[in-house]
Amino acid sequence: MAQNRTQLLFWSAYSRVYDGLLKLQPYAELIAESVDHLEVAEGAVVVDLGCGTGNCLNRIVATSGDLPAELIGVDSSPQMLKTAKRKLRQDSRARFVNTSLLDWMQERSPASVDSAISVNVLYTMQPEDRERFWGGLARVIRPGGSAVVVTTDQAGIGPLAKQHLNQVPLWRAFPPRLVAVLLMNMVIWMFESNSVYDPASLETLTSEAESAGFSVVKSKRCYGGEVEGVDVMLVLKRG
């Protein structure tokens, strides 16, 4: 999962405008739906793999209240984690780890996580790193535990813009920070089209998850609609 200097600088810049996505209606709905599909029981240890600025963990706190015993955010970007820490600074259950999520899963004690979520991270991995991802996820999640994995499998902004404009008046649809992050997303899609990233299909992801020992409770297309959306979602149960 090694990245060159240009990619590292890009992700550092991306972190500074990332939360402009909160003004994008499909993104807000994606975070809400992803978290709503995650099983969080009383006393649960919950981890967000590639937590970014903490939007999923923030949503988990808002919807699950006092149920989780521990909230862990793992991300390789210190800039992203700085924002995440600020959002959850008043929650003593939250802690953040600045490292590769693949390394974290390898070093974490086996079967020590109850619920895991990962949103829009997997598409940045080549097949060999996806294999490490699924193996690590199966390693850290206890039998009977759950996971929600969301990742893009196709480039393009059209479905997002269409859904957004159907819900938000044009005059306030695109504030400056949202425009900035959408422009940077176009660079990400350029990476995909030039094979810098190698996003897998829903069929491939399903096969990989099942081979790692997960059952697929639900799969669907999202982030731009259930038909045209640019992401796929897998709701998983550990066997």
User: pLDDT tens digits for 29-45?
Assistant: 999 999 999 999 999 99
Q: How far apart are CA 217 and CA 8, in angstroms?
A: 35
Higher pLDDT, 144 or 12: 144
The domain limits of the chain are: 5-238
For domain 5-238, the CATH class is alpha beta
Start-end of H helices in the chain: 5-17, 25-36, 55-64, 78-87, 101-107, 127-140, 158-167, 176-193, 202-211
Most confident of 17-21, 69-73, 176-180, 198-202: 69-73
Look up the pTM and report it.
0.91
Question: Is 4's pLDDT higher than 70?
Answer: no
Whole-number average pLDDT of the chain: 91
192 falls in which pLDDT band (50, 70, 90)? low
Note the pLDDT of residue 193: 61
Of all residues in the chain, what percent carry a pLDDT higher than 90? Answer: 72
